[in-house]
Amino acid sequence: MATLNATNLKHASSSSNNIVLAADGSTTISNLSGGVGKILQVVTAVATGTASNNSTTFAEITTDLRCTITPTSASSKIIVTAFLSLAESGGLITVRILKDGTTMVNQPSGYVSSTADGNACSVVNSANNMFPIPVQVIETAGNTNSRYYTPFWASVSGTAYFNKWPTVAVHDTTSTMTVMEVAA
């Protein structure tokens, strides 16, 4: 590998250059035992629209947050992270991340498939306050088939709001979702 304007760093106990820092900012590390996981791909989505839900049945929050990914290896880890701006008019919101709109990722024991029973990735009790709620799930890809990940929500009681303050017409915000494939 030819590298222009590179700086070679040598470990004190080694006679070879183990780390090469190239002028373009890239780094090459050699002579590692074990290996290093790396991010293979990243898919992101941003939702700026608002929504509300007063149902105890889980529904997709918005298709704007769907992240479609095709893993390059069945052994890769898929890390899904969502930051959802949620508010509730007086009750609980439960959130789940579903794969292909049907399979809950990181399904807890005692899972109930359709109702807002608290078996969720995240639970919000905001009582007329709006919070950016972080939700993260991790799974092994299992195959190299294309799939999408998306957040679903349900309201245990009251009305749930997405990207919107419950009692004021202003103060709308945004939510994001990121799906990463990481080499095992």
CATH of the domain at 173: 2.60.120.1340
Residues 75 and 137 in one domain: yes
Residues 9 and 87 in one domain: no
Window from 44-48, 81-85, 167-171 with minimum mean pLDDT: 167-171
The pLDDT of residue 36 is 56
Closest by alpha carbon to 47, among 135, 175, 177?
A: 175
Confidence class for position 1, pLDDT limits 50, 70, 90:
very low
| Helix segments in the chain, DSSP class H | none
Residues 55 and 120 in one domain: yes
Please give the residue range of the domain that contains residue 19.
Answer: 1-35
Residues 98 and 120 in one domain: yes
- pLDDT exceeds cutoff 90 at 94: no
Residues 87 and 18 in one domain: no
The pLDDT of residue 62 is 96
Window from 58-67, 80-89, 117-126 with minimum mean pLDDT: 117-126
Sequence-distant (6+) residues with CB within 8 A of 78 are 69, 71, 138, 139, 140, 141, 149, 179, 180, 181, 182
Over the stretch 128-146, which tens digit does the pLDDT of each residue have? 667 788 888 999 999 999 9
Residues 76 and 128 in one domain: yes
Query: How many structural domains does the chain have?
Result: 2
- pLDDT exceeds cutoff 50 at 3: no
The pLDDT of residue 166 is 77
pTM, to two decimals? 0.74
How far is Cα 94 from Cα 123, in angstroms, rounded to an integer?
5
Q: What is the mean pLDDT of residues 95-109?
A: 84
Over the stretch 33-66, which tens digit does the pLDDT of each residue have? 545 569 999 999 999 999 999 988 889 999 999 9
Mean pLDDT for all residues in the chain: 79
Residues 23 and 52 in one domain: no
Joined tokens for residue 31: 């002579």
